[in-house]
Amino acid sequence: MAFSRPRLSVVGAGFVGSTVAQRMADKELGDITLIDIVPDMPKGKALDMFESSPVERFDAKITGSNEIKDVKGSDVVVVTSGIARKPGMSRDDLLKTNAGIVNGVIDAVKEHAPNAILIMVTNPLDVMTFLAHKRSGFPKNRVLGMAGVLDSARMASFVAEALNVSVKDISPMVLGGHGDTMVPLPRYTTVSGIPITDLLPQDKIDAINKRTQNGGAEIVNLLKTGSAYYAPGSSVVAMVESIVKDQRRILPACVLLEGEYGLKGSWQGVPCVLGRNGLEKIIELKLNDAEKALLARSNEHVALTGSHGMCCHADCLQGGGTVSVDRGPRNLVEPGKDRHDACHVVSLFPAGEPASENKVLDLRPVELGELVESGFHDMCSRVVAAQVLQGPLEGAADGCTCCRHDHCFGHGIPLPEIA
């Protein structure tokens, strides 16, 4: 009887992708294909890794390719392709460019590896995972985002540093989006079973939480020319290993929620059982009111970018529902029928104009994917996200934030140019 190793593909042979490939090879998780568009570069990196195998004592086969079709037959595809963050750049700033790159990759995976499990690494992670699911049509158990393992690892390292203890004894927990609204959970973060709330004063816990939320930006600012790759690479490999070995480890991952944590149609980082089928089970923690509020805030903070470079932070309406728009003289926004795949209303205004009802260029319910894939067609507009509350459009169109507590509308800002 013939047995074959798992076939693993890594799309994007930059720092993160090559680190993932090397560490998967070290663990002999399967035969690896490293793919990138830069001529010969993935072949050179793959050859270099292969030549390390006699020293590191692994037998995994590693090949490099410039052809995306070489994902063919892969059991797991890790997508790291896209531009990296630069100092001062948020993950949301990356969306416009990276969405186009990811769409092309997902189309190829769908054609050549239709049974693969997708692990998304490209930032902004939560939106890219949403796009991969929508674009591929794969079931939700086969589309995962790597974020929570990394965020939790960062929290664990900071806890170990604060307590001067081994990282091996720390079990961290971070929920929510992969950004500065992520939700570290001190109550569920333990050292040999002891919650850190029993070991550290609140001010130190608050500092750890904040540093965890800004962990990626801290490294970007120190490196100056790139972003983290060692810890992200190790985090991806932990997920791949649990899947290909059917370890059924409980690891935080960005997955589609369909009622868990009171959220429907949302992609959030939550603890999951990962096994041979990808997502085997979502673990639902019992959160207190404060933790629920933080997770709700993380869920609401989704950055949307149109094809012409406009950006807004849009509020989710009705917990994943939709709205209908009364296009009468006052342009009121009214609650409508529930439908989880269309959950935002946006309004366009001329740049610099107040968001008054007689200045509306467009007001419509949209899917997140429509904003990313189709976008809006007026480059001189700003975007405003509507609330569930009925009310006329009001307030300045050039605000910089929005949240569920705004009186009527949250406001967006233009996306900076991306080189």
The tally of CA atoms less than 13 A away on the side-chain side of residue 9 is: 27
Count Cβ atoms below 10 Å from residue 38 Cβ, excluding itself.
Answer: 11
Distance CA 236, CA 246 (A): 15
Catalytic residue (choose from 112, 133, 178, 411)? 178
Residues 6+ apart with CB under 8 A from 32: 8, 9, 10, 21, 24, 25, 46, 60, 61, 62, 63
By three-state DSSP, how is residue 387 classified?
coil
* 112 tagged catalytic: no
Backbone angles phi, psi at 62, to 5 degrees: -125, 125
C-alpha distances out from residue 418 to 83, 92, 94, 96, 310, Å? 10, 11, 8, 8, 12
333-339, long-range: CB < 8 A, 24+ apart: 333/363, 333/386, 333/387, 333/390, 333/391, 334/390, 335/388, 335/390, 336/365
Angle at 80 between CA 379 and CA 142, to 5 degrees: 100
Distance CA 385, CA 215 (A): 28
Distance CA 6, CA 73 (A): 10
Which has the closest alpha carbon to 76: 114, 116, 121, 105? 116
Q: What is the DSSP letter of 392?
A: -
Strands 362-366, 344-350: pairing is antiparallel
Reading the block at residue 37, the tokens are 């568009």
Name residue 79's beta-bridge partners: 11, 120
DSSP-derived secondary structure for 120-176: E-SSSHHHHHHHHHHHH---GGGEEE--HHHHHHHHHHHHHHHHT--GGGEE--EEB
By three-state DSSP, how is residue 42 classified?
helix
Q: Which residues are catalytically annotated?
A: 178
